[in-house]
């Protein structure tokens, strides 16, 4: 502290977008001098001085009295990052702004983006940033060449032609950004929908594009991922316009694709726990108390839980599955716990009636499962498929897994192995042999219906998928009969309206697939509807004519929703 004993000055430098305290001084002049010294190093991203003042109540007040950030230029050229799978082909310039395209940019330019703390959306909407990356070594030509080569693999198109198409689209994107750079656009307000309204009809650009230009201009000045995320979450939380929130979601998704997961999720015991934490965050169920940025994480949690950020949710799940596929151990400290941790992740990926992320999750589980067997090649992959099926809690989830796996590259060489594993489902004669007995009746039906739908939507040969689906439908019909499910819903002693509503809701609840089981339930509804004077009897206990009419309307709307045209 200084002579007063109540103040000092922290000198902080920016490292990878975060402020880190390097030193402290008693005098302001000395602190500023040290900050300038740090900034003289071209590899320094930024420096600032924070004045700390000890209040009489014992609390500490902080005030930034000097701050400067700069484009850090470290030694040596920046290279593109490896990208093993071709991103979807963009045919028009606007396609490059899509989620999958931006995710590919985030991967291939990861080192560069981390260095300058920039998102793909900011890059695509700012002329200066586009020019800067174009001038950076051979970064863009290398990326275009890599992507073009991957996209024309196994096609007759020459890589040169695809490169020329990509560069032509980039020229148009750059020209659009150049035009927008000359526009005198409004500043970003507290509501993004206000910005959309302010730029509507401005020049010949769409309001969405110009609003993103405004947003990008502000975010570029924020040189930390958490700073960007905080601003974006605050805007989204205060935004009633769904369209505006979806636009904000594009940039939030970009930020979540950066290396900000550690600050959001805090310390995790293992890679398996980190994967589960990402999946929890994607559902908006992450425990924000574990986060190093609690307030931001709470806002992000709420937005994700409300389903307002579909792009961000997709990115989080994608990152989690990439970690599951990676060669990094799920539990570093105790290799013997690897299978236990794998089982935890597997169970987290199971959701009512399905597997989270479908074929991507099935592929990731199989890739990870192959690391538990000593054999390599086709034998190792075959054993991984078998072991994954056995690790699942029941046959219904086995069908879901195998059906999703049929859509992946594994099916090219292992369709016979998938078919062989599916044969186990035909040994199930009652519902308790298809799914866990601990489940409630509704959960059983949802789980088995999920297996039915997975089989029908699979990439399996038509004959096989129909055979599997028909067997599952037969098990469901037997369950409906044996457990008297319809009879339990249709009590003859209760009023007709209660009986009809219960049965129609059951038919429309999605707990049964289109098949014999659902047909049996619908048949009972049709029998009720064909009773003499059905409409009059349905509401004969309601004295008020207006309420009668409303009850009839509500019931007929329920019929339509349940598939009774």
Mean pLDDT split into 10-residue runs, the chain, 565 residues: 67 76 86 87 82 76 77 68 87 95 94 93 96 89 93 90 96 95 90 93 87 95 91 95 97 94 87 96 93 92 97 97 94 88 96 94 96 89 94 96 96 94 93 93 95 96 96 95 91 90 93 93 91 92 93 93 85
pLDDT of residue 386: 95
pLDDT of residue 124: 97
> What's the rounded Cα separation, in Å, for the pair 253 and 257?
6
pLDDT of residue 48: 84
Comparing CA positions, the residue from 509, 516, 473 lying closest to residue 489 is: 509
> Which alpha helices (H) appear in 205-337, and where do they start and end?
207-220, 225-237, 242-256, 261-265, 271-282, 294-305, 310-325
> What's the rounded Cα separation, in Å, for the pair 411 and 419?
10
> What's the rounded Cα separation, in Å, for the pair 460 and 446?
22
How far, CA to CA in Å, does 280 sit from each of 78, 301, 506?
34, 9, 30
In 286-323, which positions are buried (b, 16+ CB within 10 angstroms) versus exposed (e)?
A: bebeebebeebbbbbbebbeeebbebbbbbbbbbbbeb
Q: Look-up: residue for tokens 């339509």?
A: 560
Give ∠ CA 89-91-97 in degrees, rounded to 5: 80
Sheet holding 18-25, edge to edge: 18-25, 7-15, 46-54, 60-69
Beta strands 350-351 and 60-69, pairing class: unpaired
């Amino acid at each position: 502290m200084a002579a007063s004993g109540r103040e000092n000055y922290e000198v902080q430098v920016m490292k990878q977008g975060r402020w880190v305290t390097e030193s402290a001084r008693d005098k302001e002049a000395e602190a500023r001098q040290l900050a300038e010294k740090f900034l003289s190093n071209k590899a320094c991203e930024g420096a600032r001085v924070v004045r700390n003042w000890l209040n009489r109540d014992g609390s500490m007040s902080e005030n930034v009295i000097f701050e400067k950030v700069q484009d850090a230029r470290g030694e040596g050229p920046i290279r593109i990052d490896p990208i093993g799978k071709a991103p979807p082909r963009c045919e028009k310039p606007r396609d490059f702004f899509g989620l999958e395209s931006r995710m590919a940019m985030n991967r291939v330019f990861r080192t560069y983006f981390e260095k300058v703390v920039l998102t793909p959306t900011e890059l695509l909407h700012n002329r200066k940033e586009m020019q800067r990356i174009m001038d950076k070594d051979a970064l863009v030509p290398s990326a275009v060449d890599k992507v073009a080569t991957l996209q024309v693999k196994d096609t007759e198109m020459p890589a040169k032609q695809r490169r020329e198409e990509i560069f032509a689209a980039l020229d148009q994107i750059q020209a659009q950004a150049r035009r927008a750079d000359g526009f005198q656009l409004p500043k970003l307000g507290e509501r993004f929908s206000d910005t959309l309204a302010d730029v509507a009809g401005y020049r010949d650009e769409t309001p969405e594009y110009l609003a993103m230009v405004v947003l990008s201009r502000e975010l570029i000045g924020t040189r930390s991922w958490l700073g960007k995320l905080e601003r974006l979450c605050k805007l989204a939380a205060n935004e009633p316009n769904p369209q505006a929130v979806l636009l904000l979601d594009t940039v939030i998704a970009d930020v979540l694709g950066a290396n900000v997961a550690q600050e959001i999720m805090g310390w995790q015991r293992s890679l398996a726990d980190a994967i589960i934490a990402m999946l929890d965050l994607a559902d908006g169920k992450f425990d924000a108390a574990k986060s190093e940025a609690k307030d931001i994480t709470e806002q992000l949690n709420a937005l994700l839980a409300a389903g307002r950020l579909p792009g961000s949710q997709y990115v989080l799940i994608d990152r989690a599955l990439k970690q599951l596929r990676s060669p990094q151990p799920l539990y570093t400290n105790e290799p013997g716990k690897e299978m236990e941790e794998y089982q935890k992740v597997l169970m987290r990926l199971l959701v009512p009636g399905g597997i989270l992320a479908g074929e991507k999750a099935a592929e990731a589980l199989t890739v990870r499962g192959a690391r538990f067997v000593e054999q390599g090649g086709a034998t190792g992959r075959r054993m991984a498929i078998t072991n994954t099926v056995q690790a699942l809690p029941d046959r219904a989830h086995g069908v879901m897994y195998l059906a999703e796996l049929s859509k992946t590259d594994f099916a090219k060489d292992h369709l016979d192995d998938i078919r062989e594993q599916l044969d186990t489902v035909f040994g199930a004669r009652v519902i308790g042999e298809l799914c866990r007995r601990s489940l409630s009746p509704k959960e059983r039906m949802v789980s088995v219906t999920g297996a039915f739908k997975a089989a029908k939507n699979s990439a399996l040969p038509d004959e096989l998928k129909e055979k599997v689906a028909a067997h599952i439908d037969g098990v469901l019909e037997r369950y409906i009969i044996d457990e008297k499910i319809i009879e339990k819903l249709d009590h003859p002693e209760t009023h007709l309206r209660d009986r009809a509503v219960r049965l129609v809701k059951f038919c429309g609840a999605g707990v049964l697939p289109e098949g014999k089981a659902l047909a049996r339930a619908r048949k009972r509804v049709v029998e009720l509807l064909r009773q003499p004077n059905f409409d009059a009897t349905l509401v004969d206990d309601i004295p008020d004519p207006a309420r009668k009419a409303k009850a009839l309307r509500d019931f007929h709307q329920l019929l339509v929703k349940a598939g009774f045209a």
